Amino acid sequence: MEFTLKIWRQANRSAKGAFVDYKIADIEPDMSFLEMLDVLNERIVLEGGDPVFFDHDCREGICGACSLFINGRPHGKGEGTTTCQLYMRNFKDGATITVEPFRAMAFPVIKDLTVDRSAFDQIIQAGGYVSVHTGGIPDGNAIPIPKEDADMAMDAASCIGCGACVAACKNASAMLFVAAKVSQLALLPQGKVENERRARAMVAKMDELGFGNCTNTYACQAVCPKHVSAAHIARLNRTFIRSGFNKPKE
């Protein structure tokens, strides 16, 4: 297979970027998208050029590092897949493929296709944890939890923090990410105690970092590689509003 790649090249966050065209041939259909970029970089290096910078780690759809905007969609075409799970057989032979970094004020470009997603880490640090000592790992049936609650908590916990929800949102909102991180704790007994404080702190940090507001277009849910439900956003909104009434006086 052969393709024309239109790849965003940008030396650093303050430099002016532009698309650069690359022709690539002899690509196997069963190569992943990242393997194809590896082949491209090998050829660029052999020609004495600067390889394309892009993030990757596990290449198993778990870590969320491979955050690329491919043909106008985070992680490219397909449902429930990360970029590393996208295969070249999903593209038509001879096609032109446009590859960009995630575009959001809170995700500044580091170089080429790599962006700084540490804003997500700051949101987690603001409250995405249980601060009290809960003891060792209890027996499986020691704390009865309704299956519906356990299933919803697991749905929320499946979020890998890739940032696709932010990249797809017209407002660059991080509400689905924040809602997932709040819900995965709030639905379980250990996380209920700090639920309102956690929601208030994480939403405040999200706003501080420059993420936009949610306008319920559900683009985030549509592109999430782990199918995290937008219903968690509704739960976050209810918790946040309730926390305003129950907020301790300072």
Integer Cα distance of 250 and 246 in angstroms = 12
Please report the pLDDT score of residue 129 as a whole number: 86
Per-residue pLDDT tens over the stretch 50-69: 999 999 999 999 999 998 99
Do residues 127 and 230 share a domain?
A: yes
Examine the domain organization and report whether 104 and 139 are in the same domain. no
Residue 187 confidence (pLDDT) above 60: yes
DSSP-assigned states of every residue in 47-115: TT-PPPP---S-SSSSS-----EETTEET-SSSS--GGG-BGGGS-TT-EEEEE----TTS-EEETTEE
pLDDT at 249 over 60: no
Same domain? For 88 and 159 the reply is no
Mean pLDDT of 24-33: 96
Q: Which residue would you say has higher pLDDT here, 103 or 131?
A: 103
Total tally of structural domains belonging to the chain: 2
pLDDT for the residue numbered 140: 66
In the block, tokens 């706003």 appear at 207
Q: Which of 93, 111, 129 is the last residue of a domain?
A: 111
Same-domain check for residues 130 and 92: no
- 7 shares its domain with 87: yes
DSSP character at residue 188: S
Domain boundary among 111, 130, 165: 111
Q: Looking at the structure, do residues 212 and 133 belong to the same domain, yes or no?
A: yes
Name the pairing type of β-strands 3-9 and 96-100.
Answer: parallel
Check whether 134 has a pLDDT greater than 90: no
Are 231 and 190 members of one domain? yes
Tell me the CA distances in angstroms from 180 to 63, 95, 184, 232, 237, one per residue in order. Answer: 16, 36, 6, 6, 12
Q: 91 and 57, same structural domain?
A: yes
Q: Which two tokens stand for residue 64?
A: 């969320």
pLDDT of res. 70: 97
Same domain? 124 vs 224: yes
**How many Å apart are CA 3 and CA 61, to the nearest integer?**
24
- DSSP alpha helices (H): ranges in 128-169? 147-157, 164-168
Dist CA 217 CA 134 (whole Å): 38
Mark which of 111, 132, 162 sits at the end of a domain.
Answer: 111
- Local confidence band at 248 (pLDDT 50, 70, 90 cut-offs): low
Residue 30's pLDDT is what?
A: 96
For range 81-103, the mean pLDDT: 96
Q: How does pLDDT run across 135-151, given as a tens digit for each residue? A: 777 776 777 889 999 99
Judgement on whether residues 100 and 123 belong to the same structural domain of the protein: no
CATH number of the domain where residue 195 is located: 1.10.1060.10
The per-residue pLDDT for 102 is 96
* pLDDT cut 90: percent of the chain above it: 84
> What's the confidence (pLDDT) of residue 125?
95
Domain that holds residue 57: 3-111
Is 159 in the same domain as 213? Answer: yes
pLDDT in tens, 96-111: 999 999 999 999 999 9
Higher pLDDT: 71 or 132? It is: 71
Cβ–Cβ < 8 Å for 219, 170: yes
Q: Among all chains, which residue has been given the structure tokens 């009865």?
A: 144
User: Does 192 or 228 have the greater pLDDT score?
Assistant: 228
- Together in a domain, 129 and 87: no
pLDDT of residue 139: 73
Kindly report the CATH number assigned to the domain that includes residue 77.
3.10.20.30
The closest alpha carbon to 162, from 81, 218, 97, belongs to 81
